[in-house]
Amino acid sequence: MTVISGAHELLDTEVYVDLRDLLGTPLYLKCEGFNFAGSVKMRPAVWMVAAAQRDGVLHAGSTLIESSSGNLGVALAVVAAAKGLRFVCVTDPKCNPSTARLIRALGAEVITVDEPDAEGSYLAARKEYVRRKCAEDPSYVWLNQYENPANWISHYENTAAHIAKRFPALDTLFIGTGTGGTLMGCARYFREHRPAVRIIGVDTEGSVNFSGTPGPRHIPGLGASTLMPLIDEALLDEVVRVPETEAVGMCRRLASKGLLFGGSTGTVVSAAARWLGGRGLGPSHIAVAIAPDLGERYIDSIYHDAWVAEHYGRAPLELLEQL
């Protein structure tokens, strides 16, 4: 029995879904949404706040401020509420409205940066807003998830270690790429402890996490419009890029079996299904994919036909009808 005294203490529920029957290929999905933040971002939120407090950077009277497309904002709002801290989340119009409402419900403030920078990047504009606020008021503390080593360390010490213990014969691990925290923490752990495990980074088309030209993206979570400093591609065996339409289709396919996951999870599972299906691997092959989020926050987007048609046209819906 798990007993906690604070919402930020629930980090891992050890839930895996066997997707073999659904996908026709061996894949275990590690579900990271069964905590009070509803996503994998709870771990880095807890680790970064703890590190800032330990280092004396964050103290009573400080105001946390962070740039987030959604999930880390919710996680930091949970941690801040549990610890009695003030938190300001800086996001942009791509953030799901339900996510912004959830952050506010947890007592945090939400600032929406409505205009991208000169290069068209909302992320760069969000970070510039945070820098400006910190320069204006020294009580503001920016954890900076994009460069903070506690981001990846949280997954090195926790996420990766849990997977390694549960699957001692693991062959392949699929990990989505946003800031690179989950990916780098897991990649470093397995390179040091189990170097034979294949590490597959998953990104969304239009992202520049692994070079390339930025393109339009409508689903928050994975991907980035600027290079992420934490990412070291040399630690990976391969990168798989997934178009958002495929992610939507996979989310709908999972939901048809009662598994309501978010856009990041749909992207990772789609990549894993494509990679595994194209190699004719036998049933003895053990593969795990990390599911970063659940699907409730995507009811008005990925699971809404009008939203899908507006952003991708009718073709994806016609394909979905054939599922």
Q: Which domains does the chain have, with CATH numbers?
A: 7-31+158-320 (3.40.50.1100), 42-142 (3.40.50.1100)
- Binned at pLDDT 50, 70 and 90, residue 322 comes out as low
Q: Quick one: pLDDT at residue 94? A: 83
Mean pLDDT to the nearest integer, 3-17: 89
Q: Which residues of 286-301 are buried (b: 16+ CB within 10 A; e: fewer)?
A: bbbbbbbbbbbbbeeb
**Residues with Cβ within 8 Å of residue 52, at least 6 apart in sequence:** 58, 141, 143
Q: Find where tokens 């945090």 sit.
A: 108
Name the nearest CA neighbour of 186 among 16, 30, 1: 30
Digit-coded pLDDT (tens) for 293-307? 999 999 999 999 999
Please give the backbone phi and psi of residue 284, each rounded to the nearest 5 degrees, phi first: -80, -15
Mean pLDDT to the nearest integer, 21-47: 95
Instruction: Report whether 149 contacts 116 (CB < 8 A).
Output: no
Name the nearest CA neighbour of 150 among 227, 82, 57: 57
Digit-coded pLDDT (tens) for 119-175? 888 889 999 999 999 999 999 999 999 999 999 999 999 999 999 999 999 999 999
316 pLDDT higher than 80: no
Percent of the residues in the chain that have a pLDDT greater than 70, as a whole number: 98
Q: Cα separation of 71 and 293, whole Å?
A: 8
280 pLDDT higher than 80: no
Q: Quick one: pLDDT at residue 241? A: 96
Instruction: Report whether 141 contacts 65 (CB < 8 A).
Output: yes
